[in-house]
């Protein structure tokens, strides 16, 4: 069965009428049914015509600047399916059932490969397109191969178990794997993010001797390279990363995202879908970063929306008045990235060489439209942050976008001992823009040819 994001729900022919918040549907093949749906469902029920997949519906709503909730979309699909109102109702119902349970079976199998396919030259070629092998010299590559093992996992095999202490990072060479959400009160979990070749995962836990933060399961027959990373680099010895600078940058970016309020509670391996979309932006003093009243650009993947300060200081100005200063570790604009909003304050740099890690609203939406479980989890976190902000008053931050706040009560260093105690490991001066390019590679054809 295909993943739910590829489902194309097709309503039966009929007539819709609306009275207040009640939507009445009268199918042409039977008696009318009165169905109470969220009022915002009016924005997307007309798209449930079989022409659009769930992912395409989400993208369409976002591009049209229509406010909606992922949870409302899921509930609407389930309610309509429970009332047998889709032409492909059985298909929709099965998708919704799988999505609400352990949804390991909702993914198509891709081409299968055998061990002989992954020759040494082909593995080296693929490693060069990852943070661990990007710009790596032959001697350093030989060290990687020396401490690597090619492993095959069958569909539903558990690759990583949450809570385990393990020394390996993994490179996904073929197939696909799913990062699972924590189990709910019914003991069920779901695929929160799906990882595709060629990508690495498990690097932060392995490098820093931390427990795994989530189960990772093979969604189909998959080949992975298991690498004992601590035999190659040592986070307590910065010089050991001299030949693996992109990996050091990757670990640094991972820690940044893990500290973002938007991603609190999200397994680190699920964040791999975001790391490939991060950008590094540097601005001079007295530069306006965002301006009060401007619309967030939802089309351009290069225009930042969510900002994390990794160097320097900025000032928040609202209606011409200074509100507060933000420094390393503070965030702004992250929740607004989930919707089409206008900036409600101006942010301006007030120190030299300010640097930000950013994600565009377009890239964030593209990720969430392909990972509905992750979208639901982030929406829930955003709701919780908004509720805390309302109850805490001004102590929790300063409004910078509609329905969002800046976390100012603690800096990044104060919140995460890793950077305070091991600041020598990596900093902004260790990041090169070219390093970030190694995070974004999607293989089209594994058999496109081998490279030496």
Question: What is the phi-psi region of residue 84: left when phi exceeds 0, alpha when psi lies from -120 to 50, beta otherwise?
Answer: left
- CATH top-level class for 4-99? alpha beta
Q: Where are the beta strands (DSSP E) in 52-190?
A: 148-153, 158-160, 168-174, 177-180
> Is residue 246 within 8 Å of residue 202, measured between CB atoms?
no
Pick the closest to residue 305 from 368, 382, 361 (CA basis): 361
Place of tokens 């109702």: 89
Structure tokens at 60: 């369409």
Beta strands in 67-221 (DSSP E): 148-153, 158-160, 168-174, 177-180, 191-195, 199-201, 216-218
Buried b (16+ CB within 10 A) or exposed e, 377-403: bbbebbeebeeebeeeeeebbbbbbeb
Write down the pLDDT at residue 244: 92
CA gap 18, 25 in Å, rounded: 9
Return the structure tokens found at 37. 């749906």
Residues 6+ apart with CB under 8 A from 326: 309, 313, 314, 315, 316, 332, 347, 406, 408
- The three-state secondary structure class of 14 is strand
- Distance (Å, rounded) from C-alpha 387 to C-alpha 94? 34
The number of residues making up the chain comes to 452
The residues of the chain scoring below 50 in pLDDT are 1, 106-108, 389-428, 440-452
Which of 72, 78, 71, 73 lies closest to 93 in space, CA to CA? 78
Token pair 């989530």 is found at 214
pTM of the predicted structure, to 2 decimals = 0.74
Helix (H, G, I), strand (E, B) or coil at 378: helix
Which phi and psi (to 5°) does residue 226 adopt? -95, 125
Provide the 3-class DSSP secondary structure of residue 243: coil
CB contact at 8 A, 207 and 229:
yes
pLDDT, residue 334, reads 64
CATH class entry, domain 115-260: mainly beta
| The pair of three-digit structure tokens given for residue 323, joined into one six-digit string | 């509100």
Nearest C-alpha neighbor of 298 from the set 71, 60, 43? 60
Angle between helical axes of 89-99 and 70-82 (0-180°, round to 10): 130
What pLDDT score does 432 carry? Answer: 56
pLDDT of residue 340: 52
Distance CA 86, CA 14 (A): 11
Q: How many of the other CB atoms lie within 10 Å of CB of 293?
A: 10
pLDDT score for 2: 60
Would you kindly state where each structural domain of the chain is located, as residue ranges?
4-99, 115-260, 277-421
Show the tokens assigned to 278: 């991060």
- 389 preceded by a cis bond (ω within 30 of 0): no
pLDDT reported for residue 412 = 31
pLDDT at 325: 92
Cα separation, 253 vs 437, whole angstroms: 13
Q: Judge: domain 277-421, CATH 1.20.1250.20.
A: no
Per-residue DSSP letters for 216-235? Answer: EEESSSEEEEEEEGGGT--T
Intrachain domains 115-260 and 277-421 with the same fold: yes
């Amino acid at each position: 069965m295909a993943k739910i994001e590829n489902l194309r729900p097709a309503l039966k022919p009929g007539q819709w009428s609306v009275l207040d918040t009640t939507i009445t549907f009268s199918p042409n093949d039977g008696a009318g049914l009165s169905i109470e749906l969220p009022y915002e469902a009016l924005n997307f029920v007309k798209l449930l015509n079989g022409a659009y997949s769930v992912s395409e519906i989400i993208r369409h709503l976002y591009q049209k600047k229509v406010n909606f909730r992922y949870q409302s979309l899921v509930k609407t699909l389930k309610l309509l399916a429970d009332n047998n109102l889709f032409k492909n109702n059985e298909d929709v119902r099965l998708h919704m059932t799988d999505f609400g349970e352990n949804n390991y079976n909702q993914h198509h199998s891709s081409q299968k490969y055998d061990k002989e396919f992954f020759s040494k030259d082909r593995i080296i070629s693929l490693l060069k397109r990852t943070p661990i092998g990007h710009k790596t010299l032959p001697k350093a590559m030989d060290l990687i191969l020396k401490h690597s093992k090619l492993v095959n996992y069958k569909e539903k095999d558990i690759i990583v178990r949450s809570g385990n202490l393990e020394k390996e990072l993994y490179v996904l060479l073929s197939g696909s794997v799913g990062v699972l959400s924590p189990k709910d009160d019914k003991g069920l979990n779901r695929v929160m993010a799906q990882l595709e070749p060629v990508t690495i995962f498990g690097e932060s836990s392995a490098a820093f001797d931390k427990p795994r933060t989530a189960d990772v399961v093979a969604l189909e027959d998959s080949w992975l390279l298991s690498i004992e990373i601590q035999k190659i680099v040592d986070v307590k010895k910065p010089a050991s990363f001299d030949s693996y600078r992109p990996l050091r940058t990757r670990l640094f970016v991972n820690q940044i995202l893990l500290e973002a309020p938007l991603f609190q509670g999200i397994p680190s391996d699920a964040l791999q879908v975001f790391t490939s979309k991060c950008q590094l932006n540097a601005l001079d003093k007295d530069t306006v970063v965002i301006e009060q009243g401007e619309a967030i650009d939802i089309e351009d993947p290069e225009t930042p929306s969510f900002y994390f300060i990794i160097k320097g200081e900025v000032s928040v100005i609202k209606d011409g008045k200074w509100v507060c200063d933000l420094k390393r570790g503070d965030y702004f604009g992250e929740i607004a990235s989930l919707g089409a909003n206008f900036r409600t304050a101006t942010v301006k740099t007030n120190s030299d060489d300010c640097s930000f890690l950013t994600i565009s609203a377009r890239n964030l939406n593209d990720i969430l439209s392909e990972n509905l479980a992750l979208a639901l989890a982030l929406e829930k976190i955003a709701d919780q942050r908004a509720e805390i902000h309302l109850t805490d008053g001004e102590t929790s931050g300063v409004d910078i976008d509609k329905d969002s706040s800046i976390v100012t009560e603690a800096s990044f260093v104060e919140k995460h001992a890793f950077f305070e105690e091991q600041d020598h490991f990596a900093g902004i001066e260790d990041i090169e823009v070219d390093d970030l390019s190694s995070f974004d590679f999607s293989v089209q054809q594994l058999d496109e040819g081998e490279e030496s």
